[in-house]
Amino acid sequence: MTPLTTPYYLIDETRLLRNLKIIQRVREASGAKSVLALKCFSTWSVFDLMRQYLDGTTSSSLFEARLGHEKFGKEVHAYSVGFSAGDIKAVRKFADKVIFNSISQLTAYQDAVRGMKLGLRVNPGISYSHFDLADPARRYSRLGVSDRNAVMKAAPLLSGVMFHFNCENDDVDNFRAAIDVIGENYGALLKGLEWVSFGGGLYFTREGYPLDRFCEKLKSFGEKFGVQVYLEPGEAAITECAELVTTVVDVVHNEIDVAIVDASVEAHMLDHLIYRTTPRIAAPEPGPHRMMIAGRTCLAGDIFGEYDLKTRLEVGSEVRIADAAGYTMVKKNWFNGLPMPSIVARRLDGTVEVVRRFGYQDFKRSLS
């Protein structure tokens, strides 16, 4: 095997399997199906494993829907905040469900997708999010239909509805209460439909999450309204399964020692910059040496964070950034022309496979 050179994303299938088995357990105990949210994770080199535990994929665009069809198979849920006429013409060839974000889009394209299973995103007016940026029920939200009467009028066209109203929700009591509200407000609608999706943003694979109570609620909801319940795990499917492996290329001092690594927050873990969060370090271990770890773009704020480490970082030191699967590879970019991290998979049998390297020609082709 060609020696590994940093930076690279290392996906560990053994860690991934832990999450997938929990998803399987939820399906068996509750009857709820799960479709992978490709907006979070689209790295199809591990789809052979994921396909065994998930019912399909859900998308936010034509390209994601097509990727789900071609590389994952099984069910394809095609959603978009705004389909174009060209999108609809293309997506109807391989989608199992087409989910519209608005009544106007449903009305405009219903004839083009006649005979298919149609869905509508409904905004229930409640949500769970730590960040206004990601809150689906924020003021002026364009995500889903909030007019209940309009939804009821559209019901004859629908086979199901999607309520995607959570972001990083690990509070099972909050979720249980929320779907009770949905049942009260939309029960009459649901009883005439085939399926309902509660979207993603539910952290039910986290350590210690009360799965039994979660499953009981999903099961009782599905039975009460006679609908197939769907979940759309993104982070829940891939949490803690990958690292961004980097190497220190320089150490400078300005009140604090700053280790500059051969990767970037802005280019390779953008969500941490957007939400102003600090990623965890998988290696080195915690210890007495206080250091800042920074990316090597020209952006002054390209900072992973400040850490107390067991080993003082020097040029050539390896730094592993934890939990680097979700919203990373799907958002990576060519800012500053930095080399894009390779994608590497550690398979279940322990073998390490470099599944994709990116070079200058990839950078060049992304421009014109």
Residues near 319 by beta carbon (within 8 Å), at least 6 away in sequence? 245, 246, 247, 248, 259, 261, 281, 283, 284, 293, 313
Distance (Å, rounded) from C-alpha 282 to C-alpha 346? 16
Chain-centroid distance of CA 29 in Å reads 23
- pTM of the full structure: 0.95
Whether residue 311 contacts residue 219, with contact meaning beta carbons closer than 8 Å, is answered with: no
Cβ-proximal residues to 125 (8 Å cutoff; 6+ apart), any chain: 137, 146
DSSP per-residue codes, 224-274: HHT-EEEE--SHHHHTTSEEEEEEEEEEEEESEEEEEESS-HHHH-HHHHH
The span from the CA of 230 to the CA of 27, in Å, is 9
The tokens describing 2, both together, are 């060609």
Which residue type is seen at 277? Answer: T
- Domains, the chain, with CATH or none: 13-238 (3.20.20.10), 240-365 (2.40.37.10)
Tokens 């930076």 map to which residue?
7
Question: 231: Cβ–Cβ under 8 A, 6 or more apart, which residues?
Answer: 26, 32, 33, 34, 35, 197, 198, 199, 200, 202, 218
- pLDDT digit string (tens) for the chain, length 368 residues: 567 999 999 999 999 999 999 999 999 999 999 999 999 999 999 999 999 999 999 999 999 999 999 999 999 999 999 999 999 999 999 999 999 999 999 999 999 999 999 999 999 999 999 999 999 999 999 999 999 999 999 999 999 999 999 999 999 999 999 999 999 999 999 999 999 999 999 999 999 999 999 999 999 999 999 999 999 999 999 999 999 999 999 999 999 999 999 999 999 999 999 999 999 999 999 999 999 999 999 999 999 999 999 999 999 999 999 999 999 999 999 999 999 999 999 999 999 999 999 999 999 999 99
